[in-house]
Structure 1
Amino acid sequence: MEQIKNDKLTVTVSKHGAELQSIKDANGKEYLWQADPKFWDRHSPILFPIVCGLWEDKYRVNGKEYKLGRHGFARDTDFKLIAQGDNQLVYCLNESTETLKDYPYHFNLAVSYKITENKIKVVWHVENTDNKEIYFQIGGHPAFNVPDLKQGEPLAGTLKFDEKEPSRLYGNVGGCITPGYHKVKTEDGLYKFTQNDFKDDAVIFDHSQLKKISILNKEGKPEVTLDIKTPAVGIWSPYGKDAHFVCIEPWYGIHDWAEYDGEFKDKYLMNKLLPGCSFMSEYTITIGE
């Protein structure tokens, strides 16, 4: 485990999956879900080279079939720590004999975490080190404690969206999405959720509808805010468990459409890179106001 800190935050990250493990403020208050296996045994996995599910866990490159489990392999793979400072950590992952069996591309994936004041900037950098065009999706899956809940209480919380009437997709057929948009009711941008909101899995927004999402405490003040640039975002907590966390997931990619049997490169929200080219994006986690 590696740690960076300043006078406002202490952030811990693991080489395994380059995954955030802890976000604490100066008083020692924990904001990141602590991976209780009774509910969900992860903190903040990196999703690569796919986001969410493939139809029947299969995809095709030039007609050849491959298999990948939900969210890809990065979250279950050890990264290398390549840079460490007082306020920044940088990890990288390259293709290997194992990854090439399931994902036939050469790549370099770098993930960095930098703290400034009460903010954590998470940066993804994907480089094409292959001699052909590569295709990929990438996303985050950070899980945050829902404030003001006591042990044994049902899940209940409030999110603040920067869009008052967003429309969602449903991802409830074989772990894949179905056509059709459905308005999500908010109270002037305030989205009050319980576990029943996740009966059909994640609440999914595409078309860059949301760029800022806050988790509010009972006083209506933001405990955690995500500023995102991604074309899609998922909101999730495990249905039926009343787990005291909610995930806010920025995605450059999304599930397959149900029964999709096309080429990998033609998937909805696919990213591509020519040889020698790179992709970079970021999102920011703000603790408090």
Structure 2
Amino acid sequence: MNPFSRIAAICRMIKIEHSVFALPFAYAGAFLAAGGWPGLVPLLVLTVAMVAVRSFAMAFNRLVDLKYDRLNPRTAGRPLVTGEISVAWTWAFTLFMAVLFVAACAGLNRLCLYLAPPALLVAASYSLLKRFTWLCHFFLGGVLGLAPVAGWIAVDPQFTVPAVLLFWGVLFWVAGFDILYSCQDMEFDRSMGLHAVPAHFGLPTALVVSAFCHANAAIFLLLAGWSASLGWPWYAVWAVIAGVLAWEHRIISPDDMSRVNMAFFTLNGVIAFMVLGGALLGLYFG
């Protein structure tokens, strides 16, 4: 395989486009911590750290879930399943991303460096939790919820109320859409003895739990903006975000899950950038 084909396969394996779910929150945390422009170098190093830890987590997930991905028709075309990328090469890639993440954290500040190994452990743990508990969605939410906290401490190495509230907002937001995403695999998860909210409770209950998560996400995002003393533009954007979250649950139902991918990727990708945009507008024009 030529280098360009290998890079393309890696990007498909780790779903590089899903970085839109975490990076905007990390940037929002950095801008809020700085009270404005945090500087080009911190943003670049933060970007490297976020992409590295996410790539590490996704590659590790593909490795430990390989036996399930081979059996699931939805995942049968993944590069590791088809053999486009070897298991040995993926392990090497995973290790490299872990080292790159630690190096990037070291380039930010001492607190980031100290927290790097626990962050890697937490990021890897999600891949195993589906074997044991339906709370795995909330753990994944917690992993991505670390993004705004990471952005904050990259600029201001301390834990603050706005950063913690953003953590909870992202946790519930991610848990809600991950539950929606896992609805596609409900029957497969049941057949494999895997745990997820849809497989454990059924589709109607899963949609209710997802909606409950997104209601909580809206509340915590509102409180985060208030605690960070953001101006009126943040609240205007927040109202739109809340509306998008509500609409997300209007376009799917137990009888029609055909638009679940639209609810999962398109709408939630928009929400991530709206949070960043709202935070910037709230800082500069409030």
TM-score normalised by structure 2 residue count: 0.32
Q: Which has the higher strand share?
A: 1
